[in-house]
Amino acid sequence: MVDFNDNSHRRYNILTGEWVLVSPHRTKRPWQGKEENVVNEIRPSYDAECYLCPGNERAGGHINEDYTKPWSFVNDFAALKKDVPLAKFKSGLLKAESESGICKVVCFSPDHSLTLPVMRVEAIDDVITLWQKEFKNLSDKADINHIQIFENKGDLMGCSNPHPHGQIWAQRTIPQEVAKKNKQLREYWHNNHSSLLGDYIKEEQELKERIISENENFIALVPYWAVWPYEVMIAPKKQHRNILTLNTEERLDYARIIKAVTIKYDNLFKISFPYSSGIHQAPTDGQDWESWHFHMSFYPPLLRSATVKKFMVGYEMFATPQRDITAEMAAKTLRNLSDIHYSNL
């Protein structure tokens, strides 16, 4: 029997139908590559130069509302335009089609100095409530068939502004990553008459190897097929196709577990931990999508320390994703970290 904790092996991602190469023995190799500069700066509650702070002028010339709670606006430099005519092009092997949509910025707090792990649970709940409002308003539009809520946190993840914020991109077509999950979730539902993710969560609860935090309504774990070193997935224990059907207590538990996960991230290397996070939900194209079970994923780049990141290059770009620590190793490390933010210890 091969010891998967010390030998290379592949793991299957049930949500996408793809594989990841796991090479736990590689953590023993010395690192002489690039190391990042880490700046744990103390930011003010208000920055007159920040284009997301309340009352300030944005780069596009618009003036922000003097908001006191989470606030959203249409991105001044959106990747998608809403009134693009539907058009298709085909010439031989060349194909293209127009794409339309709406891009919004969601400011989590008026306080420039905050991040999710140091926000109050009630304040994170306010963010989720705004996500719900935006999801409902956007999904009611006839030409919106998918809504992606996400956050890029930190310079390492390409964040252009340190003010606590995320984005929402709503578009006419269904993106590739979601299309893969549509297929896997629907096939499993058809064959088993149950939720693929729901059944996976039950299995993880029995094994207790990769869970890092849970409460009555939500669970946070390192997926068996995780690609990023300290990747985490948050999911409701009860099957919800999207965030709109969460009741008040479920929404609060969602806020609590987001705070718990991001505190553990910050505590790992005693820094404001960078990541990209996103919520995958059922498409809004009018189909039933009874197979869907929404979930939130965190993809952080750091591997060995605050200064050494995981690069997706070479083999990962040309062959298949690869990771150097097992999901079990990562889960144990995160699970054993304090639930109190290091700045308060």
* CA 93 remoteness from chain centre: 35
Strands (E), 34-181: 71-74, 88-91, 94-97, 101-107, 146-153, 165-171
Closest alpha carbon to 259 in 122, 150, 117, 164: 117
Q: Are 79 and 107 in contact (CB under 8 A)?
A: no
**Beta-strand relationship, 18-22 and 322-323:** parallel
Strands (E), 154-283: 165-171, 211-214, 218-221, 232-236, 275-280
3-state secondary structure of 321: coil
Annotated catalytic residues are 165
CB proximity list for 212: less than 8 A, separation 6 or greater: 220, 221, 222, 232, 261, 264, 331, 334, 335
